[in-house]
Amino acid sequence: MDVSSTALTSTQTIDFPVDSTQFDWENLRYFIAFARIRSLAAAARVLNVEHATVSRRIAALETALKIRLVDRRSHRYELTENGERIAQLGNRMQETACALSRTVCAIRTERVADITLSAPPHLTTHFIAPHLGRLRERCPDVNVRILSTPRMASMARREADIAISVGRPTETDLVVRKIGTLDFAFFAAPGYLQGRNEAAYEFIAHDDDQEPSPQRIWLENAAGQRPVVLRAKSFDVQAEAARAGAGIALLPVFMAEAQAGLQQVPIEVQPLQAELWLVVHRDMRNAQGIRTMMDFVIDCFALQHR
């Protein structure tokens, strides 16, 4: 359905109260996600749905509220003035609901803890997963859900209870602790490098959905005019491609050195380092289950660096 043909106008006043029995709060959640990112596709990725679903949810919310929230006249959705107002109110409502959820979770974790840990895939695979058996032995009352994504989950929106962030986060209401550093270097298969001069180097880069990562910027600066022939989100995929002779990849040193068939390539003048931070919302930091999980994560990284 083409919702752009509706008679609602961007300057129409909001006729409250809205009948709460006819109001689908899930539609508001989709609209808030879009308003925060200002992109249907990016909001869809965050919500793990198709972008058409986000569009349909926003249209349903407009119908329920009887106002125009977005302007569809351009190629991009733009918030109307009323859309901005509703987004601000919705954000405050969501923050209050999340604060309530955190408080309840903190109370519940005094007994059996169901804890979500967010961390990039290469860190969960190589630092956390090998030690989960020890966690089960020591803390049988802690049940863990691992959210293995490159983007750090939102603590404020309860996407996760604890997170490992590459780089210090800047959001408010977070308690952070530095737990290590991640060294990066260029690696390639020895056969790829044999007889190849530097001008003929080809590169394998990190594929970023939104803002370019420091690793991608570092690699593209080092590559200069030389081509990037492959992009992948996963460092494991990049490492395997480099080992297969597809090009030169910028990889975490701990991961590349543990694999046979990769050789470090001395391209960079200075090594790239990324700080690793353990992150928790301040409302959750004193819950017993959260403290147990935080101590476990700290111990995992301490063991890796011994």
Residue of 268 and 80 predicted with greater confidence: 80
Q: Is residue 131 part of a domain?
A: yes
243: closest CA among 187, 198, 199? 187
Report how far Cα 227 is from the mean position of its chain's Cα atoms: 27
99 and 7 part of one domain: yes
Contacts of 305 (CB under 8 A, 6+ apart): 180
pLDDT digits (tens, 9 = 90+) for 120-177: 988 998 889 989 898 888 878 788 889 888 778 887 777 888 999 988 888 778 889 9
Which of 53, 81, 104 is at the close of a domain? 104
Q: Is residue 214 part of a domain?
A: yes
Residue of 230 and 140 predicted with greater confidence: 230
154 and 286 part of one domain: yes
Residue of 22 and 13 predicted with greater confidence: 22
241 and 288 part of one domain: no
181: closest CA among 201, 195, 167? 167
91 and 35 part of one domain: yes
Does an H or E element contain 237, and which?
Answer: helix 235-243
Q: Is residue 11 part of a domain?
A: yes
The Cα 109–Cα 130 span in angstroms is: 24
143 and 287 part of one domain: yes
Q: Is residue 85 part of a domain?
A: yes
Residue pair 66/7 in contact by the 8 Å Cβ criterion: no
65 and 133 part of one domain: no
165 and 149 part of one domain: yes
Residue 187 has pLDDT above 90, yes or no: yes
Mean pLDDT for 70-91 is 82
Q: Is residue 306 part of a domain?
A: no
282 and 190 part of one domain: no
Total count of domains within the chain: 3
pTM: 0.63
Q: Is residue 177 part of a domain?
A: no
83 and 216 part of one domain: no
Q: Is residue 109 part of a domain?
A: no
231 and 92 part of one domain: no
70 and 149 part of one domain: no
Q: Is residue 45 part of a domain?
A: yes
236 and 158 part of one domain: no
| Helix, strand, coil share of the chain (percent; to 5) | 45, 20, 35
Kindly report the length of the chain: 306
Mean pLDDT for 203-207 is 89
Which of 77, 104, 131 is at the close of a domain? 104
CATH number, domain of 242, equals: 3.40.190.10
- The DSSP call for residue 224 is T
Which of 54, 81, 104 is at the close of a domain? 104
Range of the domain at 39: 3-104
CATH number, domain of 37, equals: 1.10.10.10
